[in-house]
Each structure stands twice: as C-alpha cells, then as structure tokens.
Amino acid sequence: MKSIKKSWIIIGVIVIAGLLLYSSIKGTYNNMVSLDEGVTSQWAQVENVYQRRADLIPNLVATVKGYAEHERETLEGVIEARSKATSVTIDPTNLNAASIQQFQAAQDGLSSALSKLMVVVERYPDLKANQNFMELQTQLERTENRIAVERRTFNSTAQNYNTYIRSFPKNIYAGMFGFEKKDYFAAQVGAEKAPEVEF
C-alpha cells in the first residue's frame, strides 16, 4: 500500500514538473514569436518611410526639370539612385548586418543624389520660390525625420528582442527553436568625425 501511494506521489510530482516545464517553454516561445513579429513589423515601417521618400522624388524631379532642364545629369542621377534604392529589398526574417548594410548603401546613394539636387536648386531662385517645390521639399524633410525616428524605433525593438532571446534560460529555448539575434542600423562610417568647413 505504501509503495502504491509512493508511486502516485512520484507520478504526481513528475506530472506537475512536466506541466511547469511545458508552461515555461510555451510562454517563452510565444514571447519570442511576439517579439520577433514586432521586429518584422517595425522593419516594415522603416521600409514604408523609405518608400514614401522614393514616392516623392518623381514629383520633385519633374518640378526641378521645368526650371533646370540643362541639369539633366543631376536629374538622371537622382532617378537612377531612386531606382537602385527601391530595388533593394530585405526579407525581414533575414535581418543581418550584411543585408541591412546593403539596404543602407542603396538608401545612402539616394540621399547623396538628393543632396546634389538641392545644391543645383540653389542656382535657381525662381524654383526655390515655387510653391509646389517648397511643399515637396517640406514633405521630403519631414520624411527624412520620420526615417530617423523609424530607424531608432527599429533599433529599440531589435534590442528588446535580442535581450530577451539572449537572457538565460531563454537563450537555450531560442537556440532550440532557431531564434537568432537581429542586427541594428548603424551610423555611416566616418559619421563620428565632424565635417570640415572651409570658406
């Protein structure tokens, strides 16, 4: 009788331990999925604001073209850079340093082309006074600010995810289920140095 009672106690302890382990694994796994989806969603927001910038460019180029037709090389450079920037897409499940760097390089090319365009615009006072151009320029500036905000939010979301999956004992479950660290947007090389200004 005592041995049967002892067997039931052992079975009960094993069942309770199994249920606690199952509950722990299930909760941790579901949190990892939720955080991973948060990173994916935030990446979509980053792409969304970059797409908004790309969508503004044809109107900006068309407006400038009306005033600065002989600046064809600059305008074609902007159009080409826009095409390259919109052709680079990243699978959010494969957010690693190389893919983010490739995406950023294409976006930096577009930013550089836009900077050259704005230098050209300085030569045309009538264009700078054009209401349509001023509105497009304001929208572009706001979009650049939104890009910075969304990138910062992406980095924060990725940091929360990375911290969660790298904490013990969650790192064991992350390894078992294939959850990997996400990389961040980083500053451009040389951004830490102040630019030299000569007059």
DSSP state of 123: T
DSSP secondary structure string, 26-77?
HHHHHHHHHHHHHHHHHHHHHHHHHHHHHHHHHHHHHHHHHH-TT-HHHHHH
149, two tokens: 């905000």
- Identity of the amino acid at 98: A
Q: What is the pLDDT, as a whole number, of residue 198?
A: 40
Residue 187, pLDDT score? 66
Q: Among candidates 82, 24, 31, 36, which has minimal Cα distance to 57?
A: 82
Whether the Cβ atoms of residue 144 and residue 91 lie closer than 8 Å to each other: no
Nearest partner of 152 among 41, 52, 42, judged by Cα: 42
User: In the chain, what are the helix, strand and coil shares in percent, each to the nearest 5?
Assistant: 80, 0, 20
Residues of the chain with pLDDT under 50: 190-199
pLDDT at residue 115, rounded to an integer: 86
What pLDDT was estimated at residue 7? 83
pLDDT at 162: 93
What the chain holds in terms of domains, given with CATH numbers, is: 2-177 (1.20.1440.20)
Amino acid 197: pLDDT: 35
The model's pTM is 0.75
